[in-house]
Amino acid sequence: MLQSPSPMTRSPLPPHVLLFPLPLQGPVNSMLKLAELLCLADLHITFVVTDYINSRLQRHSNFQSRFDHYPNFQIKTVSDGLPEDHPRGDRFIELFDSLRRKTKPLFKEMLSSGCLESDSRRRVSCIVADGILGFTCDVGNELGIPVFYVRTISACCLWVFFCLPKLIEAGEIPFNGDDMDELIKSVPGMERFLRRRDLPSFCRSGNIADQNILLYRTECDEIPRAYGLILNTFEELEGPILSEIRSLCPNIYTIGPLHAHLKAKLAARGSSQPTFSNSLWEEDQTCMAWLDAQPSKSVIYVSFGSLVNITSEQYMEFWHGLVNSGQRFLWVIRPDSILNKDSGSRIPDEVSEGTKERGYIVDWAPQEEVLAHPSVGGFLTHSGWNSTLESVFEGLPMICWPYFLDQQVNSRFVGNVWNLGLDMKDTSDRNLVEKMVRDLMEVRKEEFLQRADQMAKSAKRCLVEGGSSYNSFERLVKDIESMDAPVS
């Protein structure tokens, strides 16, 4: 790991931290929370987002009015180099490539031009960037600015990424044969439960030159280059896997669950907590009134996050399964997330009726508020890491239907390591959806709720004074304060 630069003339102004998230909903959401935590620690913050993300945040979230309370916060925008109508998240390899080629020089220019500093704001003293944006470390090294990486995925998936070279070397990927239940042996700490089907979805491509494999196998070389690694997780949840990662990358700050960490810090300051949103879509608040009218723990919340697209066949299987389960459901169906949707196709009467009686469908929900609502008793999720942590914190059992990337690993941990729910991966058959929803919400309800409640308690404990995430964050702030801005 890089050492912090040697002490130079100390500035009387607070340290100036530049944050650069991966320009996608989940990472932007987490990094805005980290930015606010660092503002509360009285550091100066520059938050760099792409023009595309900035325009969506301005349109759909209240983040601007929220950060108006922090004179120590500024936002700066940079181009991601893609045309306006590019689908970004849907073709994120192209997004990464464009960021590396086109955004890197703009980012360097931004840092070296002096445009981020003023009489009341000193030069950037450190960069906190998403670890997948490796070019930020190159720029930091060139300008003598220390870099902390942030990964907003789970530690368990990050460890699998670290082990990709080993998996290739051992001949475990590409798969030899089609038994998806065969155990994987080259990921230390996961030998007893990790199957081929639990590896990140791109491992199924059968091709070690797959662009995703090339991208994520660089983690092994890339992450240890930074001064430290900040993770949105907590020791009590992922301790054994964190120990494995520490063997390669000793300076880790586990400060999650970030959304709750921020709320805890605001509450400790006696700040009234207006609801806030970092959403890139318009939140439909009407679902909160609908939830108010439902019995306690009776509703399963269904959402597949910001990137998943499902086929119209899968959509109908889920819909039938949910209605046939007889349970109440609140379902987020993002506009345009259903592929080949034929608007003329007939919805069976029993599905429409069942939905009218027990269901509510929205384009986008205020998810944190929904998960904290007393009427919600379970979550059918795509196992995105933010959604998983938000569910863990609220003590909600999950049914996991992972789509890609880290989600396959996360869902295995939810179902078979933490025992917080059921892993439905690789199928969306209506009968299985119905059975799992009944199991989670009715048949095994108490058993799951009890375990989820225990994990929620440890998530809450790690955030109070002396808790693991609380301490890690204090250490992060101290380390940032010990770094001085390079002299021009």
Give the footprint of ligand UDP on this chain (CB under 6 A). Answer: 25-26, 29, 279, 303, 305-307, 332, 364-365, 367-368, 384-387, 390
Q: For residue 144, what are its two tokens? A: 């003598």
Nearer CB in complex with ligand UDP: 125/303: 303
478 vs 472: CA distance, rounded Å: 10
- Comparing every residue's Cβ against ligand UDP, the nearest one is 384
Dist. CA 142–CA 15, nearest whole Å: 20
In terms of CB distance, is 149 or 364 closer to ligand UDP? 364
- What is the DSSP secondary-structure string of 313-335? HHHHHHHHHHHHTT-EEEEE--T
- Please say which residue, 34 or 145, places its beta carbon nearer to ligand UDP: 34
3-state secondary structure of 447: helix
Question: Closer to ligand UDP at the Cβ: 46 or 387?
Answer: 387
d(CA 355, CA 377): 18
Distance CA 373, CA 293 (A): 11
Determine contact, residues 151/22, Cβ cutoff 8 Å.
no
Nearer to ligand UDP, 284 or 474 (CB): 284
In the structure encoding, which two tokens stand for residue 371, read together?
A: 């998960």
Nearer to ligand UDP, 46 or 367 (CB): 367
Nearer to ligand UDP, 294 or 306 (CB): 306
| Shortest Cβ 435–ligand UDP spacing (Å) | 24
Helices 258-268 and 385-393 sit at what angle, rounded to 10 degrees? 50
In angstroms, give the least distance from the CB of 389 to ligand UDP: 8
Instruction: Please say whether the beta carbons of 229 and 148 come within 8 A.
Output: yes
Angle at which helices 312-324 and 349-358 cross, to 10°: 60
Residue 213 tokens read as 């494999």
Question: C-beta of 333: minimal distance to ligand UDP in Å?
Answer: 9
